Amino acid sequence: MWQRLKTLRAELLLALSLLLPVLAPRAGGLGMVVLSGIAPVLPAAASGESGGDSFREMAMRLVAENADLRDRLLALGEPARLVARDAAFAARRFARVEAGVLARDASLFRGSLLIGAGIGEGLAEGQPVVVGEALVGVIAEVGPLASRVRLLTDPGCRAWAGIVSGPETAEGFIEGTGDGVLEMRLVRAGGGREGDPVFTVPADERVPRGLFVGTVRSADDVDRDGVAEIVLDPALPAARIRVVNVLVPGGS
């Protein structure tokens, strides 16, 4: 019996390790400490990949992305511009912490970014992460020198938002699907049309209202139950995100 158990000890240990996700469901703290340890190595890899990025080049790229987003916003019409103006007032309550993207998620099916700012810069879980005035994710884990951003497109990401369609705003919550688009739920049928802009709404005090989330790709009520099935394109694809701003409380 004992000999039999000895030959199967690898199987027994693996079976016991199935308890690990139950006993320690989030390894965020430990993971971020480990990743903070290798964070100083990562920016060098980043500059190697993009051919020697300096802060000046990163800032110029950020300005270009801002201009691109502003142009897209202007093309959306008067109601959307009013929301954006409100957002500018709301965003004054927040200070911006700029951070470069160090790495992507090691999993093929999750959407997250490792950024080069941590506890020392005042980052905390749940804070919104933006590029220009576009929301791209929220802080999921914070470490001493690095933090992990859960992108809006990650399957575990949820946030409240509103579709600005003409003079009306239809609110609902958005979820990531894991394949680069977002789904919006709990919106009444006819609450949004293709091309309508989507902004954050005042549901979470950590997230200012009026941040640009994306645009409606399709809006149907296939099952005729009065609730629309809405698919959104995010404001920025994950591959284009190089530098982000984290909105932390304490602006002017």
Partner 1 sequence: MRWLRLLLSGLVLVLASLRWPEQLAARGFTPVWLLLPGLCAGLASTPGRAALTGFCFGLLADLCSLEPLGVHAVAFGVAALLLSRIRGYFFCDHPATQAVLGFVLSLLVLVALLSRLAAAEPSFRAASRLPVALAAAVATAALLPLLAAGDRRLGLFTDSRRGGADVQS
Task: Give the interface size with partner 1 as a residue count (CB under 8 A).
Answer: 50
CB of 75 to partner 1, least distance (A): 27
Q: Which C-beta is closer to partner 1: that of 20 or that of 82?
A: 20
Using rule CB under 8 A, residue 176 touches partner 1: yes
Taking the least distance from each CB to partner 1, the nearer of 154 and 196 is 154
Among 10, 223, 224, 252, binds partner 1 (CB under 8 A): 10
Is residue 77 left, alpha or beta, with left meaning phi > 0 and alpha meaning psi from -120 to 50? left
Closer to partner 1 by Cβ: residue 144 or 178: 178
In the complex, what is the shortest distance from the CB of residue 182 to partner 1, in angstroms, rounded to a whole number? Answer: 9
**Sequence-distant (≥ 6) Cβ neighbours of residue 6 within 8 angstroms:** none
**180 lines the binding site for partner 1 (CB under 8 A):** yes
| Residue 25 within binding range of partner 1, rule CB under 8 A | yes
Per-position x/- string for 84-123, each x denoting binding to partner 1 as judged by CB under 8 A, each - no binding: ------------------xxxxxxxxx-x-x---------
**Closer of 42 and 76 to partner 1 (Cβ):** 42
Minimum Å gap between C-beta 40 and partner 1 is 12
Please report, as ranges, the residues that interact with partner 1 according to CB under 8 A: 9-11, 13-14, 17-21, 24-27, 30-31, 34-35, 38, 41-42, 45-46, 49, 102-110, 112, 114, 140, 148, 150, 154-156, 175-180, 183, 238-239
